[in-house]
Each structure stands twice: as structure tokens, then as C-alpha cells.
Amino acid sequence: MAFTGSQDDNVYRYTSHLRNQGLDQKHSSRHYLSGSMGIRVVIVVAIFLVSSSSAARSSSRPLLKDQNRIAATSDDFDKNYYISWGSQLVKLLDNNRSVQLLMDQSSGSGFASKSTYLFGYFSTRIKLMQGDSSGTVTAFYLSTQQSSNHDEVDFEFLGNKPGKPYYLQTNVFVDGVGNRESRMRLWFDPTADFHTYSLLWNRHHILFMVDGVVVRVFKNSENLGIPYPSSKPMQVIASLWNGENWATDGGTTKINWKESPFIATFESLAIEGHKCHEDSHSTSFCRFSPSSEWWEDSGIRGLSSEQMKQLKWVRRHYMSYDYCTDKTRYPKPPPECPLNTI
């Protein structure tokens, strides 16, 4: 496969090619590691679940006033979540108030919400691993339960070599089609402290937010024939997995197992959304009145002038890749790009 363009774009395109080949790696039924490797190394993710609604309603949420409807926050992991894969590498701690996801060279692990949600606000605070995190992928995302024609909204944190920044990659899948990647650096060291990463998904748009700053918008333009995830309920999912075949330098930089154990910590995991029937795949289980849900409020249907300024600032100073500007992949930008690009 040949790529033309800048070095950064070429690395990205090769990365995207490899990632698409191995997309199934991060999900529960998807096996991506060989059991033949000899050295057992553990990656740990500690997940601390918020125990009160006041903790979940952090000041980092933009435009979210007078919302006190928490659909699912709990100090008991078993009440709202289940271990979706790698059960032998998952530890529940502190009376099920926290959970550790471990990854060694034989398998990774993950968990998912028991319920599915059609629209809402989904948030967590994360402190990523320090040192050499090359090849590791920490994911926080929404996804339907279908293995094909699925919808998905991604935060993926791509590890790197010491002295080089983490990259935050976002993506949107609709009916099984992704290829809507953007990649950015962060304006802080995500390994030094906790930071808040949030998804607001409603009938009008998806907002990707970091510490309350909107870093990406994906608008609903179904009236123009552009696909949008508007009918399938999604789970909240977290996973930690080996993405060394694509995540760092296009897959040329592998995981340095000598630096293990790697640790990334999640806390204040919160869901505020319309809860659908467990294990449902149909909107018939998810009927609700949009006017009664705060995430559909008129004040959240668009960006404020301040949020527009912040989004422009992020794109200007921290965006390293955007599929909308990749002329090699898309000589003519996809139709949604003019609507989502500031």
C-alpha cells in the first residue's frame, strides 16, 4: 500500500489502514492477542464509580444547568455494569466501588453498562499512564450491541514514547461505517492528573468534550441524507487493549513490556441518559418525550459563542489529523465535513 503526502498524514493513513484491519480488538467478543507469548505483563486500569449525584454533576459540563436527573450512578459495580471480556483479568475492589482492568500478553479486558441508552450525557475522569505507553489504547466509548451495522462514538487514547504526547482520537460509526477519525494533542499532560472526558449525544449533534471544552462536533444532518446515530440504543463501554499494530507511529513502535505494569485510572463514571430496556436493539424499547430530557433542551442544541471560540482554538493549535482535510483519502470532502468543520 502506497501513501503520498506529508509524513504525519502518511503515518496516519497507514495507522487507519491497520486499525481498520484490527477494529474488532477492543470489543468483548474480539480476540487480538496471541496466547503463545511467554512473558506475562499486566496493565491495570482502576475504575472508581461515582457514589453521589453531586460528584457526577461536575462544573466541567457546559450549558448543563439545573439538571439533577442522574440515570445511572452507583457505588456498586454489579448494579449497573458487567465484565464483558477478560473476566480472569478483572478485579472488583473496595466493596465493588472500583474495578481494575488488567491486560497481559494473553488477553485484555473490559466492562460495559448493563443498560443501553438512546441519547444522553456520558462522562468520566481519567488519569493516563506515565512513562512509555507506546502501543497501548485506553478507550471510553458508546456502542450498539450489534457486531455488524453497529453505531459507535469513540474516545481512544493512544500511548506514545517518553517525551512524546498522547494522542486523543475520536471517531463516529454509523451502520458499521467509520472512517471519520480526528486526532489531536491535549493542552495538558494527561498523565499528571485527572481530566474529564464527556460525550453529549442528542438528536441534534454529538459533542466531544475535554474538561468542558468542546473539541469536536458531529451534527445530525439526516435531512441531507448524511448518516447519524439516531435510532439505536448504545452501551457505555471501557476497555484497555493492545493496539501496537497501529496505535503508535503507524504500528512501527511496539509496546515496551519492560516498562510494565502500566496504569490508567478512571473515576467519577457517570451516565445521564434515557435508559432503554436491557439488551434491547430496537427503538420500540426507547420511546420517550424529548421535551422532558435536559440533553434535548434548546440551550444544548447548538454551541455558544464561547464554545465556538474554544473549538476553533483547539482545531488551530492541537488538531494533528482530520479526515475532512485528508485530500488523499477524500479528494472531495465527505458531505458532512462543511457542516462540522469550523
| Rounded (10°) CA dihedral 115, 28, 207, 99 | 70
Q: How far, CA to CA in Å, does 169 sit from each of 137, 281, 339?
A: 10, 27, 20
On the 0-12 / 13-18 / 19+ scale of CB atoms within 10 A, 241 is buried
Total Cβ atoms within 10 A of residue 63: 19
Number of alpha carbons in the 13 Å side-chain half-sphere of residue 264: 27
CA distance 152 to 330: 22
Catalytic residue numbers read 152, 156
Tell me which residue has cell 462522562.
123
Name the phi and psi angles at 17, rounded to 5: -60, -45
- In sequence order, the β-bridge partners of residue 102 are 44
- DSSP state letters, 206-260: EEEEETTEEEEEEE--GGGT-----SS-BEEEEEEEE-TTTSSGGGTSPP-GGGP
Q: How far, CA to CA in Å, does 188 sit from each of 116, 165, 194, 290, 299?
A: 32, 9, 11, 36, 29
Residues near 295 by beta carbon (within 8 Å), at least 6 away in sequence: 119, 120, 121, 200, 201, 202, 272, 273
